Structure 1
Amino acid sequence: MVRNRAFLACALATLLSLAMAADALAQDTLAIEIQGPGQARMNIVQSKPFGDGNLPSDAQYLNELIRKNLAFMPFLKIMSDSDILGGATLSGPKADQIDFKPFTLAKVDLVVTSVWKPGKGLGDVELRAYEVFSQKMLLGKAYAGVTRDQLPEVADRFCMELMALLTGQGSIFKSKLAFVKPSGKGKDIWMVGAMGRELAQVTRYGDLGMAISPAWSWDGGRICFTLIGSTSHYLGIWSGGKANVFTLPSSTVISPHFMPNGTVAVALNIRHNTDIYTLDSSYKQTASTLVADSSIDVSPSFDQSGNLMAFVSDRLGNPNVFVKDLASGSVRRASKAGYNTNPAMSPDGKYVAYSKQAGGGHRIFVYELATDTEKQCSFGPGSDENPTFAPDSFFIAFSSSRAGGKKLYLTTRNGDGAVQIPTGEGDAIMPAFSPVAPKE
């Protein structure tokens, strides 16, 4: 995160005229409906940076950051100079300096420009997005006195607002992913931004144990996880610094998950049966039972209201995904057939993503509660597992072996083409989106 809070509060200023223009156009301009079963892709071109005075050497770096961000959006297609008759060269960054005809002929929908002006640090930068059809500005933002370290956040903030105008959603740019990486003979929890930046190690157990199954608290300030030791399982709670470890009344601790009220739900083997319980505030004793029967019940996941819980049960033979209404106690089956694990409830409570054994491996499927239907959202090769919904209930991250080793990928609940999320060397598994930007 950017260390200079003045940049976030004051120095990162928007030009009033640009903001007003964007607001005026937001009601009747180009937009993408992301709620349907798919969407047409929008073609976008990014011009070279302009300089009102000396162009800073890092101007192109900002362009590259924006381009990488936009490449994660499956409904956007980034076009190159060769796609445009005469190239994508502009006379200037403003609408009256742009000849929109070549872009119209090439079926370009959006043109993004940047212009740098003298100021503190690298200077002041103005970013604009123009709709080609209307030849009007869709979004305009100015960022004052930026430094090189602040450029990733400038890119994130601009792309977040552009996506919000196009789709009504942009929260993915503020979210983090917790995930698991091998560490010596063990495993540890790491985190990374949804666009693959700010990679950081959370736990450091190394050979001493395996920290797995991370899940965020709903305020983004804590991560719970299972710690597998040499003789038993433990509950781990991280809130910055060294994680606290708790011994529970079970040698088996499976898939802990925070509920929206701050309570931890977890599957424990008590009385020779694995059921789902909530823990008391000490994280040492059970407080209530969420699911208990003669079958194996694991992997709780909740919507943001705390009313709905998805979980896995073998009550019908093979593991299947179920949804329980915690108020009424009613339970419905989500997965339709086969071997299903790793459910993730969408924050809005409308969908459940899970991993289904299919096509020689595992694939990500999404169940829609309103229609009682499931659809496949990932497509091999390899195996796709451990889906997790972003805060917008639209994007889904998952781990996959499609490229050999296991890595993290980003797709949507519509099944758009998956994009790999950079996580450094080594395998990356068990991703978990933070509901909001994590606390510092």
Structure 2
Amino acid sequence: MTMRATKRFTGVLGAVVLLVACLLSGQAGAQQTSLAVDIQGPGQAKMNLVMARPFAGGGQMSPADKLQDLINKDLQFLPFLQLVPPSNIPGQLGGAKAEQIDFKPFSLAKVDVLVTANWTPGTNLGNVELRAFEVYSQKVLVGKGYDGVTDAQLPDIADRFCMELMAALTGQGGFFNSQIAFVKPSSGKGTDIWTVRPMGRGLTRVTSYNDLGMAVSPAWSFDGRRIVFTLIGSRSHYLGVWSGGGKPQVYTLPTTNVVSPRFLPDGQIAVSLSLRGKADIYLLTGGQQPGRAIASGPGIDVSPSFDASGRTMAYVSDETGSPNIYVKDVGGGSGRRITSSGYNTNPSISPDGKLVAFTKQMGGAQKVFVHDLGTGQETQVTSGGGSDENPSFAPDGYFIAFASTRSGQKKIYVTTRHGAPPVMVPTGDGPAQMPSWGPLPQ
């Protein structure tokens, strides 16, 4: 039995999204499944996934192959999935629905998830139904249908399907519903802020200062609607705030040093300012002027980062002689040092406030580490050639973006809190650095 509910396919005029909830042989609750992976736990389980050859007529084979390639590229960002070539499985499918599939060969080959696609004639490129089955139980994990598909819709369809598959397996699918802000060189000696989806789509230039200045240190608001950054001019630093369209607003503060501005969940901005001979961290007022200091110890205090509650802040202080990572209650009290030795910078606290990712100097290079605030355990999550810096937790608290020179040119990469093999985020020609991860606005 198949139930179909229709709704507008966001962003493309006239397209219809059909949600397919496939129930096998009248079994109630076929969407309920025990197949799951704990992405937040210390282990990193692997699931074997096969994408079957699409079922399509001659007119749909080209878009069918393109969609399958897009889904494959999306799934390569998920380290808990091992993509198995369909040629490794003996026999052929009789169709894309459960009653047309012999699951035994997949089960014997230790395949956990089978993905099928079925194309039928319709308007534009036709109609497609995508299903992901749990092989052992033969239950449907995800079923989605799209009518009147256009070529422009294919990337969005791939992202939405993979988002729902990740959510079905892990309880979270925010990777495919997020965005990364970062810095690229512009003409002359300037730098500008750009944004991109973590899969490499939607590359957009946010600022256009070119030779007029260097826009650096971008940071998303918690609702994904604004970016705050530092604008370095020829004589001073300024605070920039971009609100999703047009030119950013630029604010002059009573200091020549404006370092690492960051949003709090309530929309306030915190920034490191040198107002009394050294850098301290201040909350700004509604007019974006200095308010109270929230970190003002004996050393230089910079690089604030806040959890989703807005109560806990990670930051950098050199009060013991070299830069180290501290955490403190935003409401008051002193900071607690969490790194024991070395040169440590660029903290990013996870949204749940349990982990802090940061950069540690290792010889002549930097590497990304994660500190567990509950256990005190410190784990190195990047290794290999090049230097890795500026980690930024994704809104789901699982993925981490960072900049690295491992390929020769500085680029943005994605790993996980457990240190999965990094995957490069496509950001166009030229270097890319200083990533900040945020959600798509709802």
Q: TM-score range by the shorter chain?
A: over 0.9
Q: Is residue 314 of structure 2 the alignment partner of residue 310 of structure 1? A: yes
- CA distance, structure 1, for counterparts of residue 21 and residue 89 of structure 2: 32
Match of 1:352 among 344, 356, 360: 356
Tell me the distance in 1 between the aligned counterparts of 2:139 and 2:317.
54
Whole-angstrom CA distance in 2 between matches of 1:381 and 1:95: 46
Task: Report the AA paired with residue 148 of structure 1.
Answer: D
How many angstroms apart in 1 are the aligned matches of 2:393 and 2:24? 31
Q: Which moved more, 1:46-55 or 1:318-327?
A: 46-55
The equivalent of 2:412 in structure 1 is: 408
Residue 258 (structure 1) aligns with: 263
1:183 aligned onto 2:186: yes
Q: Which moved more, 1:140-149 or 1:107-116?
A: 140-149
Q: Distance in 1 between matches of 2:297 and 2:427?
A: 39
- Could you say which residue in structure 2 is the equivalent of 1:153? 156
In 1, are the aligned partners of 2:23 and 2:29 still within 8 Å (CA)? no
- Structure 2 CA distance for aligned equivalents of residues 19 and 161 of structure 1: 19
Contact 1:69 1:156 survives alignment (8 Å): yes
Tell me by how many angstroms 1:23 deviates.
8.8
Where structure 2 has 5 or more consecutive residues not aligned to the other structure, the ranges are 1-8
Correspondence 1:197 to 2:205? no
- Read off the aligned partner of 1:326 and give its amino acid letter: V
- Aligned in 2, Cα 1:242/1:20: closer, same or farther, shift over 3 Å? farther
Please report the TM-score for the alignment, with normalisation by the length of structure 2.
Answer: 0.93
Instruction: Measure the CA separation in 2 of the matches of 1:6 and 1:347.
Output: 37
1:392 aligns with 2:390: no
Q: Which residue of 2 aligns with 1:437?
A: 440
Work out the CA distance in 2 between the residues paired with 1:316 and 1:44. 50
Closer, same or farther in 2 for the Cα pair 1:20/1:92, shift >3 Å?
A: closer
Contact 1:320 1:338 in 2 (8 A): yes
Q: How many residue pairs align between the two structures? A: 432
C-alpha contact 1:410 1:420 (8 A) present in aligned 2: yes
Aligned to 1:249: 254
Structure 1 residues 431 and 19, CA, compared in 2 at 3 Å: closer, same or farther? farther
Equivalent residues of 1:259, 1:265 under 8 A apart: yes
CA contact (8 A) 1:210 1:228 kept: yes
Partner of 1:71: 76
Whichever residue aligns with residue 191 of structure 1, its letter is: T
CA distance in 2, matches of 1:438, 1:6: 22
Deviations 1:119-177 (A, max 9, x none): 33222211001122223322211122221111111111111111011111101111000
**1:406–1:135: structure 2 CA closer, same or farther, 3 Å change rule?**
same
After alignment, is 414-423 or 359-368 more displaced? 359-368
Partner residue in 1 for 2:140: 137
1:400, distance to aligned residue in structure 2 (A): 0.6
1:310-329 equivalences in 2 (<5 Å): 310-329=314-333
In the alignment, is residue 341 of structure 1 matched against residue 345 of structure 2?
yes
Structure 1 residues 157 and 274, CA gap change in structure 2 (3 angstroms): same
* Distance (Å, rounded) in 2 between the aligned partners of 1:177 and 1:426: 17
Is 1:4 matched up with 2:39?
Answer: no
Q: Does 1:362 align with 2:366?
A: yes
Q: Is the 8 A contact 1:30 1:131 kept in 2?
A: yes
| Match among 106, 115, 119 for residue 118 of structure 2 | 115
- Distance across 1 between alignment mates of 2:56 and 2:87: 24
Distance 1:206 1:162, change over 3 A: same
For the pair 1:234 / 2:238, whether they are aligned, the reply is yes
Q: Which residue of 2 aligns with 1:214?
A: 218
* Secondary structure class of the residue paired with 2:19: coil
Partner AA of 1:232 in structure 2: S
Q: Which residue of 1 aligns with 2:5?
A: none
C-alpha distance after superposition, 1:397-419 (max 9, x if no partner):
10111110011111110111111
Q: State the one-letter code of the partner of 1:141.
A: K
Cα distance in 2, alignment partners of residues 21 and 236 from structure 1: 58
Instruction: Please give the alpha-carbon distance, in whole angstroms, between the structure 2 residues aligned to 1:3 and 1:20.
Output: 35
1:40 corresponding residue in structure 2? 45
Q: Give the conservation status (yes or no) of the 8 Å contact 1:21–1:138.
A: no
Q: Which residue of structure 1 lines up, in the alignment, with residue 6 of structure 2?
A: none
How far residue 293 of structure 1 moved from its aligned partner, in angstroms, is 2.4
**Aligned to 1:168, which of 162, 171, 185?**
171
CA contact (8 A) 2:89 2:106 kept: yes
Q: Do the aligned residues in 1 keep the contact of 2:403 with 2:413 (CA within 8 Å)?
A: yes
Scaled by the length of structure 1, the TM-score of the pair is 0.93
